[in-house]
């Protein structure tokens, strides 16, 4: 049985919110990558990735974050990560993502951080 995965993109007050659900692995990471690229192609570079329903992320999924961050920041945007459950947050932390990405508890806090500049 394939691992569950869902992705939803929305706009909120000038921010793009990509909500990930289930498993981001080698099979589903391309969908995540496509979603980020679509936002960038549309000129939307302030992106929040909501991981509240994310249960697992593989190196392929983590690679999507890394592949875009430099370009997005050069364009004046950023990727902020919110809602990590402890198990997934641990994966991000052991790889040092907290030194590269702003990771906050929830979506309103991530939006507030963008508002603060």
**pLDDT of res. 3:** 73
Q: What is the pLDDT of residues 56-103, one digit of tens each?
A: 999 999 999 999 999 999 999 999 999 999 999 999 999 999 999 999
Q: What is the pLDDT of residues 38-57, one digit of tens each?
A: 999 999 999 999 999 999 99
Share of the chain above pLDDT 90, in %: 97
Dihedral angle of Cα 87, 110, 34, 54, to the nearest 10 degrees:
20
Element (H, E) at 47: strand 46-57
Nearest CA to 8 out of 46, 58, 40, 48 is that of 48
**pLDDT of res. 1:** 56
- Helices within 1-117 (DSSP H only): 29-41, 59-74, 86-94, 107-115
The two three-digit tokens of residue 70, written as one number: 């430099």
**pLDDT of res. 64:** 98
**pLDDT of res. 61:** 97
User: Whole-prediction pTM value?
Assistant: 0.95
Rounded Cα distance, 111 and 2, in Å: 33
């Amino acid at each position: 049985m394939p691992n569950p995965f869902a992705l939803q993109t929305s706009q909120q007050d000038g921010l793009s919110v990509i909500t990930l659900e289930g498993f981001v692995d080698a099979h589903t990471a391309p969908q995540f990558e496509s979603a980020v690229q679509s936002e960038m192609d549309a000129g939307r570079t302030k992106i929040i990735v909501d991981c509240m329903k994310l249960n697992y992320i593989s190196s392929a999924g983590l690679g999507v974050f890394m592949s875009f961050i430099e370009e997005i920041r050069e364009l004046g945007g950023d990727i902020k990560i919110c809602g990590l459950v402890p198990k997934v947050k641990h994966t991000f932390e052991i790889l040092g993502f907290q030194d590269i990405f702003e990771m906050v508890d929830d979506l309103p806090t991530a939006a507030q951080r963008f508002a603060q500049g």
